[in-house]
Structure 1
């Protein structure tokens, strides 16, 4: 199973359209995951023309996005349990908020955003994955998104582009 992972697109504020590098990957996706800060539902409509879309809302998303997506959720893909959350909040690092959002849930992977910083690391046996942003790289040298390949294992990679 191929999953394309996005976050922090902030469209149309940060970009009027999706970048070509991302669009190259979308037709072969089995699922698209967006970890929040969409800004408008137009992007959701565009993405779901390629594949089913799962996601959560972020701190810049209004009631229109909140009516479509929850604050957090757990999905299953190929027998793997995946937590989705944006990661915004106060008084802790984004990573700590993300891990604490799911409490004692046993998850194989947590996908999050908020920082715009690509990240792939483990906390105990749970993979943490932030795809970065395809439209607002902030302190990163490149724009980025993620591709997950799930079969008996989860393989995660960042796709970086300028």
Structure 2
């Protein structure tokens, strides 16, 4: 099972279209997970032409996105529990807020966004994954998104690239 993981697309403000490298990976994916800050419904509609889409709303999303998606989501995929949250809030770090959002659920992995900083690490047996942003790298050296392959285990990886064309 191939899952594309996105966050912080911020379209159309930061890009008029999805980057070609992302579109290539979207083609043939089984599921797309978006961790918020889509900004407009058009992003969702474009993504769902590739595969089913699950996601959460972020702190900059339109009313249409906020009406479609909640603040957090717990997916069960092939026996794994995967939490999804944007990660915005007032105190603590984005990572800590994301972990706290799922304290009661005991997920195998937590996907979050907000910071635009790619991250893949373990915390108390839970995989933490931030895909970064495919369209707004901020101070990061490259744009990025994630791929999760599920076979006998969860296999997360980042795709990094220099141009959002």
TM over 0.5: yes
Q: CA deviation at 1:63?
A: 1.7
- Per the alignment, residue 89 of structure 1 pairs with 89
The answer as to whether partners of 2:41 and 2:62 remain within 8 angstroms in 1 is: no
Aligned twin of 1:106: 106
> What is the CA–CA distance in structure 1 between the aligned matches of 2:104 and 2:72, rounded to whole Å?
15
Separation (CA, whole Å) in 1 of partners of 2:104 and 2:76 = 17
State the Cα distance separating 1:62 from its structure 2 match.
Answer: 2.6
Over residues 80-110 of structure 1, what are the superposed CA-to-partner deviations in whole Å (9 max), with x where a residue is unaligned? 1000000000110001100001122110110
Q: Any idea what the Cα deviations from partners look like across 1:6-39, whole Å, max 9, x if unmatched? A: 0000000000000000000011110000000000
TM score, norm. by length of structure 1: 0.98
Aligned to 1:35: 35
Partner residue of 2:77? Answer: 77
Give the match for residue 131 of structure 2. Answer: 131
Equivalent residue for 2:159?
Answer: 159
Structure 2: runs of 5 or more not aligned: none
C-alpha deviation, 1:132, in angstroms: 0.2
SS of aligned partner of 2:59? coil
Three-state SS of the structure 2 residue aligned to 1:146 is strand
TM-score, normalising length: structure 2? 0.97
Runs (4+) off by over 6 Å = none
Structure 1, residues 89-139: CA drift from partner, whole Å, max 9, x if none?
011000110000112211011000000000000111100000000000011
| 1-structure distance, mates of 2:68, 2:117 | 25
Aligned to 2:68: 68
* 1:151 positional shift: 1.6
Aligned length: 162
Q: In 1, Cα distance between the equivalents of 2:7 and 2:104?
A: 25
Q: Separation in 2 of the partners of 1:109 and 1:42?
A: 28
